A = this chain, B = another copy of it.
């Protein structure tokens, strides 16, 4: 848990302001002035730390995606049973997308604003995240504990379900992140036709 009450440094304040602004109004709906003034600085301050508005978005997307990839790998590493692995992965993934819904919204729905080169780098990380999940599903199918006519599409659907939490989840909403996470674990296990719950 990182402390948050003592005023963080400028780079951090800029990053947080950018996430909030991009999340609320989108990349193109956000001005560089929005970001810098929300961070308590002048319009030019952003350019001390980032070469352009697009590079700031890229930095947020890169860090955010790496974080999710590591989260996914850690979830899977805690067990060697596909049922537990899938359950843990989906639970952690869904919880994270509920807790960090604004950040997740930005890095999932603003990617079209990235340059071709930057987008390619992000897609590479996303591919790795896909692979973590797909491998778990494949191993479950191979060992007979999962049953699905199309493991690839089922994997995609499970990932899709988790990502979309970032779109609909609200802090003042009906469910806590843990409640969403627990239910999504069950849903994912049903989707793969798991014989028993993990």
Task: Give chain A's interface residues, CB within 8 Å of chain B.
Answer: 24-29, 108-109, 112-113, 149-150, 152-154, 156-157, 160-161, 163-165, 167-168, 174-175, 179-180, 183-184, 186-187, 190-191, 193
A109 to B110, CA, bound (A): 10
Chain B residues, CB < 8 A from A24: 112
A109 to B106: give the CA distance in the assembly, Å.
12
Chain A contact residues: helix, strand, loop or mixed = helix
A191-B187, A191-B190 as given contacts; A160 in contact with B156, CB under 8 Å: no
When the two chains form their complex, are residues A113 and B29 in contact, meaning their CB atoms are under 8 A apart? Answer: yes
Pick the contact of A112: B25, B150, B154, B180 (CB < 8 A): B25
Chain B residues with CB under 8 Å of A149's CB are 183, 186
Contact of A180 among B108, B153, B168, B179 (CB under 8 A): B153
A27 contacts across to B, CB distance below 8 A: 26, 28-29
Contact A160 B150, CB 8 Å, known A28-B29, A112-B26, A191-B190: no
Task: Give A99 Cβ to nearest chain B Cβ, in Å.
Answer: 17
Residues of B within 8 A of A190 (CB): 190-191, 193
Which residue in chain B gives the minimum CB-CB distance to A161? B161
Distance of A90 Cα from B168 Cα, bound (Å): 19
Q: Which residue in chain B gives the minimum CB-CB distance to A190?
A: B190
A174 CB, nearest partner CB in chain B, Å:
8
Q: Which residues of B contact A113 (CB under 8 A)?
A: 26, 29
Docked Cα-Cα span, A87 to B156, in Å, equals 19
Beyond A26-B112, A154-B187: 17 further Cβ-contacts under 8 Å? A25-B112, A26-B26, A26-B29, A27-B28, A28-B28, A29-B113, A109-B167, A152-B174, A153-B183, A157-B184, A160-B161, A160-B167, A160-B168, A187-B191, A190-B190, A190-B191, A190-B193
